[in-house]
A and B are shown apart, each in its own frame.
Chain A
Amino acid sequence: MKVALVQISPILQDINKNFIQHLEFIEKARKQNVDLVIFPELSLTGYRLRDLVPEVAINPNHHNLFHELKQLSKEISIVLGFVEEKERGQYFNSAAFLSNGKTLHIHRKVFLPNYGMFEEAKFFNQGKIFSAFQTPFGKTGLLICYDFLHYGANYALFSQGADIIIVLSAAPGRGTSEKQAFASSHMWELMGETISRFSTLFLIYCNRVGFEDGKSFAGGSFIYNPEGKLIARASYVDEDFLIQGINLKDLSKARQRLLYKRDNKPEVILRSLNKAVIENEN
């Protein structure tokens, strides 16, 4: 299968312009026979919305833009980020997987960063669950940015049988290093390498670029294969459109050598987690 990562800089609040940009990249991907095109976190709206959250919120069940995207998904699967108004006045930082004319899944960001320069929990409701779901490419899980940095979230998707984890991100860069990239980009790659290898799955990370209020999104979108090898990386900081072929047979190959999936014991982990929850309550 062919995957496209659309590393762009959405315009804050301007859904219509962003939607047009989505259409352009979907078309570009379709022309190159891409099966799955992935956009970053909040790709329809921009990231640092603050009080603009209600203005850009949509309900994907009855919104014309989503209707149009679903039509397009008959030819190419689409993953994008948006502000979801699930019920009236209840806003989520969400990601949708569209395929075959349908919304296969909506993930609502669970871990909302709310420290330092981040203030998501002030403006968004928290998602409640991580669910892997069936897609034409295998079982898939969606994570949004800070979700991915919690290994339990990845573990949940792995234990549900995910072959692919897709991370939509809007990660601002921090720190410089020897590399021509923000030091913080290394943290994401470290997690990508670790999760992909120790869960034997494809880890696809799509970050954005551009500045919002002086914060520079770091780019550097990537794909790791199920053996923890980096197979593609987009440019750091600059806009990019990355197309990469993925061989799903690599999953079987990796799982013959690395037995984490076969030997996983979610029931033991769950029992242990229950113990932790009970003990933490006291």
Chain B
Amino acid sequence: MKINPLFTEKILTKFIREELKKFHFEKAVLGLSGGLDSSVAAFLCARAIGAQNVLAIIMPYGKSFQENFSDAKKVVKILKINSKIIDIKPMLDTYYSKYPIKNRLIKGNKMARERMSILYDFSSREKAIVIGTSNKTELLLGYGTIYGDMASGINPIGDLYKTQIKQIAKHLGVPQEIIKKSPSAGFWPGQTDEKEIGIKYEELDKILFQIVDLRKQKDEVISMGFSEKTITRIAEMIKKSEFKRNLPPIPKISERSVGHDLLFPYDWGK
């Protein structure tokens, strides 16, 4: 689980630089929430391509989550990256005044997709690639909004567990208060990932590492001292969210079909 932060930084910054070059971008745009993942992504981008080429968009919903808002501004100030504040309350409220709903999860997903749509809009305006900020823990559990925060052009931190993100955050000099606060999707006040998933990240990542990286069977992981109930729930979350990690299936009709046997590399010609 321990990573070499210096070497990891080197690989990730090199990746950002190379991908931008390959896909003919000079700039990067990302949604900065003030949380750990997007802060780390911002630090990596600034180091990789220079602060002047990074645009962080802070997209609060009205006046809620003031703490995150000020943490996001702190990151902008430290890194001296470009930033923009776009309040998504007017757009969301207009929509929900017409199609009201109480379910806060549905509303939270809509918020994530509103932010995505703003990021992609600025991607075109600024000719900047959208930087993904989903970590490996979230991606495996499907703890993210499909076509919302899970959408991006490249995702430099997608193979780092949350606890590994913490390791690299310390190395990069991300402010302590951002590293220490409870991670949250920010769908509603008081929501935290650990409360919602029902397990501490440290334990969760250890389990995921055993199942995914070390390919351990369920009974092997249980024999290490983890509760069967927890393991079963985590395994179920991975299974149920596979659709979020793949493109939608297409029914095969022809001899050669998109998503089946049209097998070109992503970096075609790059």
Contacts of A211 in B (CB 8 A): 14-15, 18-19, 267
Closest chain-A Cβ to B211's Cβ sits at a distance in Å of 16
B264 on the A face (CB < 8 A)? yes
With A211-B15, A211-B18, A216-B15 in contact, do A51 and B262 touch (Cβ < 8 Å)?
yes
Q: How far is the CA of A100 from the CA of B270 in the complex (A)?
A: 33
Residue of chain A at shortest CB distance from B4: A176
Instruction: Report yes or no: A213 in contact with B267, Cβ–Cβ below 8 A.
Output: yes
Instruction: Report yes or no: B11 in contact with A212, Cβ–Cβ below 8 A.
Output: no
With A210-B18, A211-B15 in contact, do A48 and B6 touch (Cβ < 8 Å)?
no
Closest chain-A Cβ to B156's Cβ sits at a distance in Å of 10
Instruction: Report yes or no: B14 in contact with A212, Cβ–Cβ below 8 A.
Output: no
A9-17, A23-31, A85-93 - interface stretch: A9-17
Instruction: Report yes or no: B7 in contact with A12, Cβ–Cβ below 8 A.
Output: no
Contact partner of B15 (CB less than 8 A), chosen from A49, A179, A214, is A214
Instruction: Report yes or no: B7 in contact with A50, Cβ–Cβ below 8 A.
Output: no
With A176-B8, A237-B10 in contact, do A213 and B15 touch (Cβ < 8 Å)?
no
A52 on the B face (CB < 8 A)? yes
- Residue with the greatest number of chain A CB neighbours at <10 A, chosen from B18, B263, B267: B267
Instruction: Report yes or no: A50 in contact with B269, Cβ–Cβ below 8 A.
Output: no
B99 on the A face (CB < 8 A)? no
Residue of chain B at shortest CB distance from A218: B11
Contacts of B11 in A (CB 8 A): 173, 216, 237
Residues of A within 8 A of B (CB): 11-14, 48-52, 173, 176-182, 210-214, 216, 237
The 10 A-B residue pairs with the shortest CB-CB distance, nearest first, are A176-B4, A50-B263, A213-B266, A51-B263, A48-B265, A180-B7, A176-B3, A211-B18, A212-B267, A13-B269
Closest chain-B Cβ to A11's Cβ sits at a distance in Å of 7
Closest chain-A Cβ to B94's Cβ sits at a distance in Å of 39
Closest chain-A Cβ to B170's Cβ sits at a distance in Å of 15
Additional A-B contacts beyond A211-B19, A214-B15 (16; CB < 8 A): A13-B269, A14-B269, A51-B262, A51-B264, A52-B264, A52-B265, A173-B11, A176-B4, A176-B8, A180-B4, A181-B7, A182-B7, A210-B18, A211-B14, A213-B266, A237-B14
Instruction: Report yes or no: B6 in contact with A12, Cβ–Cβ below 8 A.
Output: no
Residues 201-243 of chain B, each 1 if its beta carbon lies under 8 Å from chain A, else 0: 0000000000000000000000000000000000000000000
Instruction: Report yes or no: B268 in contact with A52, Cβ–Cβ below 8 A.
Output: yes
Contacts of A14 in B (CB 8 A): 269
**Complex interface residues of chain B between 43 and 61 (CB less than 8 A to chain A):** none
Q: How far is the CA of A52 from the CA of B265 in the complex (A)?
A: 8
Instruction: Report yes or no: A177 in contact with B14, Cβ–Cβ below 8 A.
Output: no
Q: How far is the CA of A211 from the CA of B6 in the complex (A)?
A: 18
Instruction: Report yes or no: B7 in contact with A176, Cβ–Cβ below 8 A.
Output: yes
Instruction: Report yes or no: A50 in contact with B3, Cβ–Cβ below 8 A.
Output: no
Q: How far is the CA of A173 from the CA of B10 in the complex (A)?
A: 13
A-B contact pairs, 16 of them (CB 8 A): A12-B265, A12-B267, A12-B270, A13-B268, A13-B269, A14-B269, A48-B265, A51-B264, A52-B268, A176-B3, A176-B8, A180-B6, A180-B7, A180-B10, A211-B267, A216-B15
Q: How far is the CA of A49 from the CA of B266 in the complex (A)?
A: 10
Contacts of B270 in A (CB 8 A): 11-12
Q: How far is the CA of A177 from the CA of B264 in the complex (A)?
A: 32
With A12-B270, A210-B18 in contact, do A49 and B265 touch (Cβ < 8 Å)?
yes
Closest chain-B Cβ to A220's Cβ sits at a distance in Å of 12
- Residue with the greatest number of chain A CB neighbours at <10 A, chosen from B10, B11, B265, B266: B265
Contacts of A48 in B (CB 8 A): 265, 267
Closest chain-A Cβ to B198's Cβ sits at a distance in Å of 30
Closest chain-A Cβ to B97's Cβ sits at a distance in Å of 42
Q: How far is the CA of A177 from the CA of B6 in the complex (A)?
A: 11
